Amino acid sequence: MISWETLLYITVAVLILTLAIDIWKPHRYLGLEGFTGGISVGDNPFLTAYFPRRGDISFEEEEAGYIQDPRNVMGYADVQGLGVNHDFCRMILPKGTKDNAQQFFACALAGTENMSSTNYRTLTVAQGFKTSRDDYMRDADNDGKSDYCAVVKMPNGGWEAQCYRGLTTAFDTRTFVDTEPPDDIANILNFYEGIMFWFRFIDDMKDYGENLKLYAAGSIEIDETPNVLPSQRPLDKTTGLDDRVQITKGLQFDGSTQFLRLGDSPDMSFGKKITLTTMRAVCFWVYFDEFTNNAHILDFGNGPGQDNVFIGIIGKGDEGLGSAILRPDPCSYESTVPDAPSGAQPVESMSPQELMMSCPEKPVLPRNLPPLKPLQSVPKNGHEGKTATLLYEIWNGKLRLQHMKVPKAIKVKTWTHVCITSTTGDGVRPAVEIWIDGIKAAENPDGYLPQASVTSNNYIGKSNWMNTSNYENKPELFHGSLFDLRGYNQAVNEQKLGKTIKWGKRYLGL
């Protein structure tokens, strides 16, 4: 007969063996999740007690010598396959690091209190770890352990959700494709389809399309300090993309000295990684603090009136002409034609025949007027106009091919979403549409695509005409903010446009 001591030893041995099997080979033995049929590990207080969450590593609590980046996925997952989200995972980098080359992803394992929290980890970026801000954790291979995944650019130029499998002691160094990513990640993958450049301007100035670099003039910069609120962080899982939304004001331009110059090569030209001849859509959010004269939001070209593709506004707003003092009675003036160099005058249209018939007793003589500075309107509420006309032009060499206007498209001190896209597959004369805040505002059934393959002067916030104009009414720098600037080599349909606007409104707090 077996003694009670022997029976006790056997019972303890079975429990230890069962625990070991369930930890290292979950879901593969006994056909069960946990110790007994119908009882999951997550419901087992015995396992939870022996593998508790660490008290020294959590949100804003980090191992000495490292800092967390809450802009990446962070929170509690299950990389050990315990059936409970007790492993705290986060993106970290050594303190004092100036770039992200030493960045890596690590998990502080449950049940390892006061031990190293960085043993279970990936390689560093410098060692080949591929990551992005669009990252997440889930059991993508269905082995009972959480994997680290991120949307990354592939060698063929496409974008995929690639995952590092959670192994016994670390993350795998190889990746596999997540064929069923979460909805928010699937949405991001849709945004990347056909992307040429993507400047989000939330808390950095990088091109998420990984094609362009920029030169920032006038010490323009953006606050890169993460400001994710603790109240946004889930306590029992990892942070999704919505949990990491940061309200932004975009990239702000002072209208005096600040602008960006873009390029895909050392000489800051386009043509090696991207060519404007393939650009079929451009979308962005814009906010004008004031309507500076003929400001260009973006202007890609080879100089003034040379291969330009630009989007800007006309004058200082739509109320510039409307509120200027017009000539009410041409017969009461001694002249009708201004002297140079005063430029264009805000006058009503009248043919010479109409003028002579309206003033039969007075001769029509030249009028001597003082020259105009940039066309001024009567100020209203402290600024020139409340709305501005959007202007979109394409030049082939010195020949202007396309000229599209949308009156009153832009409101001062208001975020406005602009999307200009081709709508047909014609590679020479596609139909072109301009959408303002998700509403079609203008169309040209016989439009043009950009014509120049190589452009050397590619600006954001600056006109190519600015430094070369001899006119007093010359363009000025953009004064306002820009957010979510995207260029595509394919058309943007209405469904994708709607998702783009919805995505942007969350970050702008609209």
Buried b (16+ CB within 10 A) or exposed e, 462-475: bbbbbeeeeeebeb
Q: Which of 282, 273, 153 is nearest to 213 (CA)?
A: 273
Residue 6 covered by a domain: no
Type of residue numbered 474: K
Say yes or no: 154 and 290 in one domain: no
The last residue of one of the domains, among 168, 193, 218, is 193
Cis ω on the peptide bond leading into residue 234 (within 30° of 0)?
A: no
pLDDT band for position 96 (cuts 50, 70, 90): confident
* Strand order across the 387-396 sheet: 213-217, 259-263, 457-460, 296-301, 309-313, 387-396, 399-411
Question: What's the pLDDT at 355?
Answer: 55
387 in the same domain as 303: yes
The confidence score (pLDDT) of residue 480 equals 97
Range of the structural domain that residue 169 is part of: 50-193
Rounded-to-10 torsion of CA 253, 258, 264, 267: 170
- Pick from 150-159, 167-176, 420-429: least confident: 420-429
Q: What is the domain count for the chain?
A: 2
Domain assignment present for residue 1? The answer is no
On whether both 185 and 309 belong to a single domain, the answer is: no
pLDDT value of residue 11: 56
Element (H, E) at 480: strand 479-488
Non-local CB neighbours of 89 within 8 Å, separated by 6+ positions: 73, 74, 75, 76, 77, 79, 105, 106, 107, 108, 137, 146, 148, 238
Cα–Cα distance, 123 to 148 (Å, whole number) = 12
Nearest alpha carbon to residue 105 among 85, 82, 75, 84 = 75
pLDDT of residue 427: 81
Domain match, 172 and 253 both: no
| Contact criterion met (CB below 8 Å) for 230 and 216 | no
> What pLDDT shows up at residue 473?
73
pLDDT at 289 over 50: yes
**Torsions phi, psi of 14, nearest 5?**
-65, -40
Is 206 part of a structural domain of the chain?
A: no
* Residue at which a domain ends, from 171, 193, 215: 193
| Model confidence band, residue 382 (pLDDT cutoffs 50, 70, 90) | very low
For residue 27, being part of any structural domain is answered with no
What span, in angstroms and rounded, lies between the C-alpha atoms of 303 and 364?
Answer: 41
Residues 246 and 158 in one domain: no
**311 and 188, same domain (yes or no):** no
Q: Is residue 341 part of a domain?
A: no
86 and 146 housed in the same domain: yes
Kindly give, in sequence order, each residue whose CB lies less than 8 Å from that of residue 494, ignoring residues fewer than 6 positions away: none
Which helix (DSSP H) or strand (DSSP E) does residue 500 occupy? Answer: helix 494-508
Confidence category of residue 244, pLDDT binned at 50, 70, 90: confident
| Amino acid (1-letter code) at residue 32 | L
Q: Please give the structure tokens belonging to residue 280.
A: 């079929």
Q: 126 and 245 share a domain?
A: no
Q: What is the DSSP letter of 335?
A: -
Domain boundary among 147, 171, 193: 193
In a domain, 198, yes or no: no
* DSSP letter assigned to residue 332: G
Asked if the structure places residue 121 within a domain, the reply is: yes
239 and 129, same structural domain? no
Say if residue 238 is in the same domain as residue 310. Answer: yes
Question: Are 307 and 427 members of one domain?
Answer: yes
Rounded to a whole number of angstroms, the CA Rg of the chain reads 31
| 3-state SS track over 397-438 | CCEEEEEEEEEEEEEECCCEEEEEEECCCCCCCCCEEEEECC
What is the model's pLDDT at position 99?
Answer: 79
pLDDT of residue 325: 38
Quote the longest CA-to-CA distance of the chain: 137
Under DSSP, is residue 189 helix (H, G, I), strand (E, B) or coil?
helix
> Quick one: pLDDT at residue 32?
29
- Does residue 271 form part of some domain? yes
CA distance 441 to 437: 9
Q: Which 3-state string (H, E, C) describes 202-260?
A: CCCCCECCCCCEEEEECCCCCCCCCCCCHHHCCCCCECCCHHHCCCCCCEEEECCCCEE
Do residue 189 and residue 235 come from a single domain? no
Identify residue 148 by its one-letter amino acid code.
Y
Distance (Å) of CA 300 to CA 9, 212, 431, 452: 79, 13, 21, 10
Q: State whether the Cα torsion 379-381-382-386 is positive or negative.
A: negative
pLDDT at 31: 31
Q: Exposed/middle/buried for 81, CB within 10 Å: 0-12, 13-18, 19+?
A: buried
Instruction: Note the pLDDT tens digit of each residue in 454-485.
Output: 999 999 999 999 876 555 678 999 999 999 99
How confident is the model over 342-350, as a mean pLDDT?
50
Q: In what order do the strands lie in the sheet with 135-138?
A: 135-138, 147-153, 159-166, 171-177
Q: What is the DSSP string of 447-462?
A: ------S-BSEEEES-
Q: Length of the chain in residues, anyone?
A: 510
Distance CA 262, CA 272 (A): 13
Q: What is the CATH number of the domain that holds 502?
A: 2.60.120.200
Q: For residue 507, give the H/E element and its range.
A: helix 494-508
